[in-house]
A = this chain, B = another copy of it.
Amino acid sequence: MADGRKIRYYDSHGQSRSAADRRPADDQPAIGEMRLDLLTNEWVAIAAHRQGRTFLPPKELCPLCPTTGEMLSEIPDSDYEVVVFDNRFPSLKSPDKGWTLPEENGIETEIPAAAGICEVVCFTSDHGTSFGELSTRQIRTVLEAWRDRTRELSQLDFVQQVFPFENRGEEIGVTLAHPHGQIYAYSYLTPRTEKMLASARRYFARHGRILLDDVIKRELQDQVRIIAQNDHWIAYVPFAARYPFEIHVAPLVGVPDLTALSTAAADAFPEIAHEVLARLDGVFNIPMAYIAAWHQAPVREGRDVMRLHWQITSIRRAPGKLKYLAGSESAMGAFIMDMKPEQSAAQMREVTIK
């Protein structure tokens, strides 16, 4: 790209891409910083330059559509299947060589580099569709892009974990309507991953078994929370769901991350993704705002006990009603659910799939 960022095209069949980025080279935004919150021992990234980012542009000005005529978008080519490129307003940026994460040393420390990588994944060149409506081949190509990026980002020495995700819906602050997701490669273990790693390790030490394997065994036994299943994947509302609609999708043969999926499992993913998202949108017959998050084992530790799963959460509890994270959830992390997991699973199972 003109300003030095990288773009990668993923195509389902051999295709050569050579279109040049004809835009003037913008300045790269300043690098942010990272601060350790001593009260919780958690890192907070500060990206003070992001306030000016593009906010819900009309379709004609969409930066994620292919370039047409004089409308020069982020994608130089006039068409594409799936592209991944460096985020123009990144929260995290590649640090200098030899960068390492400092330890807590008794004083509040600011690191003059919010180290990491932020990428944008365009799911399709079609502005008006959604991930769940893509063709089987298209979802398979997106999955391949996620796998490829996980593989490559895992090799960077400052990267501790790779997180592909999608935010969908204005209700959760999405600023671009074009179907897309993001990938964050963090230079630290995120609070949730740290907690999941500790739980998986303790579980293995106590019971000698992989935690997610036992969770899935329990779901298969109980049946009542399962909403979709095929030969390679299972989708269920977790036993202790935190959101009105929360779905976990996991491969039946556990793997640490997307790169370790068998080809058969990868090929079977679009089917379950279609069904899960159709059931979610079908509950109220409206497109549901959601966050879809790929939880993967960290790059350098816990790969023996942590297992890949795709977590989809929606804050919509009824048409016109959202679940807000107020005092208990936001300040204490203590979730209160207004609905039983078995109840939301039943609602999603009852949706008629076209």
* A contact residues vs B (CB 8 Å cutoff): 35-48, 50-51, 91, 104, 106-108, 110, 163, 165-167, 172-174, 182, 184, 186, 190-193, 195-196, 198-200, 202-203, 206-207, 211-212, 214-215, 218, 238-242, 291, 293, 295, 311, 313, 317-318, 322-328, 330-341, 343
Are the C-beta atoms of B206 and A336 separated by less than 8 Å? no
Are the C-beta atoms of A199 and B47 separated by less than 8 Å? no
A51 to chain B, nearest CB (A): 5
Instruction: Provide 18 A-B residue pairs closer than 8 Å at the C-beta atoms, listed in order of the A residue.
Output: A38-B214, A38-B215, A39-B211, A39-B215, A42-B333, A43-B240, A44-B242, A44-B335, A44-B337, A47-B338, A50-B338, A51-B318, A106-B206, A108-B240, A165-B328, A173-B326, A184-B327, A313-B331
Q: A45-B335, A91-B336 are in contact. List 5 more A-B contacts (CB 8 A).
A: A46-B339, A48-B339, A50-B338, A173-B324, A195-B333
A36 CA / B242 CA spacing, docked (Å): 11
Q: Contacts of A241 on B, CB cut-off 8 Å?
A: 44
Answer whether A337 and B38 are a contact pair too, CB < 8 Å, given A106-B207, A215-B108, A331-B192: no
Q: Contacts of A91 on B, CB cut-off 8 Å?
A: 328, 336
